[in-house]
């Protein structure tokens, strides 16, 4: 039963930190909280985590495949969230490396933190999904959106959490059995359109898909660049 392995909390500092406490005992495989006081995103950023407004979930996995293909896990997690949204009738897009977006506004983000190495390792898959727009609105520097803006019916966060966990587990098994190809295919079918204008740092170009390692391919005037880390910004269409 999925519920038996989920620790439900009203509040915590960070669900990823809470999940890390259960790596040894394996008592729980998932931590879900209604609020995070110190939620974090990639590259040390703060994840805006007000109470009653989001689903803050961290799932523990002990992959039985080599860590060298572990870079596919953030993409896989994005697919799991996208599939869950699609089951609610909500169409989303995936923006490399870890964003789930609707109309260029962020609906969910993913933070994966691995421990160990090679074939003996674990990973915590952290997911923040915006359910409701905060009464005070989103921070000015955060182009975000909540499910309440695009879905009329009230949503049960526990049902959504269970569905995300189920899909994560299914996709992890798929990654173990069939490698990265099905994950990359599922991600690419939901990604930004090929040719979308994007910027990564000082580089500007057009989105050209994924590399064999799961990196971003950026078509520039000088050729195709393969980017393995960092963030991208969407640029206005011509």
In sequence order, what DSSP letters do the residues of 165-215 get, joined into one string? HHHHHHHHHHHHHH-SHHHHHHHHTTBPPTT-EEEETTEEEEEEEE-TTSP
- Which secondary structure element, helix H or strand E, spans residue 58, and what is its range? strand 54-61
Q: What is the pLDDT of residues 197-213, one digit of tens each?
A: 999 988 999 999 999 99
Q: What is the pLDDT of residues 41-98, one digit of tens each?
A: 655 566 666 777 889 999 999 998 888 888 899 999 999 999 999 999 999 999 999 9
The predicted pLDDT at position 136 comes to 79
Say how far apart CA 127 and CA 60 lie, in whole Å. Answer: 12
DSSP three-state, residue 51: coil
Domains, the chain, in order of start with CATH, read 3-188 (3.30.930.10), 197-234 (2.30.30.100)
Cis ω for the linkage preceding 97 (within 30 of 0): yes
Q: What is the pLDDT of residues 125-145, one digit of tens each?
A: 999 999 988 887 877 777 889
Question: With contact defined as beta carbons under 8 Å apart, do 94 and 78 qualify?
Answer: yes
Question: With contact defined as beta carbons under 8 Å apart, do 27 and 11 qualify?
Answer: no
């Amino acid at each position: 039963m999925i519920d038996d392995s989920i620790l439900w909390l009203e509040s915590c500092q960070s669900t990823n930190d809470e999940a890390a406490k259960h790596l040894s005992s394996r008592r729980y495989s998932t931590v879900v909280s209604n609020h995070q006081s110190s939620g974090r995103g990639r590259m040390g950023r703060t994840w805006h985590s007000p109470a009653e407004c989001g689903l803050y979930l961290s799932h523990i996995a002990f992959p039985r495949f080599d860590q060298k293909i572990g870079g596919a896990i953030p993409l896989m997690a994005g697919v799991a969230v996208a599939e869950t949204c699609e089951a609610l009738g909500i169409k989303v897009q995936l923006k490399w490396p870890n964003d789930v977006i609707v109309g260029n506004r962020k609906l969910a983000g993913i933070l994966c933190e691995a421990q160990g190495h090679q074939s003996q390792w674990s990973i915590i898959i952290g997911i923040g999904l915006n359910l409701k727009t905060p009464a005070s609105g989103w921070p000015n520097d955060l182009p975000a959106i909540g499910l309440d803006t695009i879905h009329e019916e009230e949503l049960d966060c526990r049902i959504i959490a269970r569905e995300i966990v189920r899909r994560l587990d299914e996709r992890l098994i798929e990654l173990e059995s069939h490698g990265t190809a099905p994950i990359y295919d599922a991600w690419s079918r939901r990604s930004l359109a090929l040719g979308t204008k994007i910027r990564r740092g000082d580089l500007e170009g057009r989105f050209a898909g994924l590399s064999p390692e799961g990196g971003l391919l950026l078509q520039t005037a000088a050729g195709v660049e393969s980017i393995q880390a960092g963030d991208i910004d969407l640029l206005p269409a011509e």
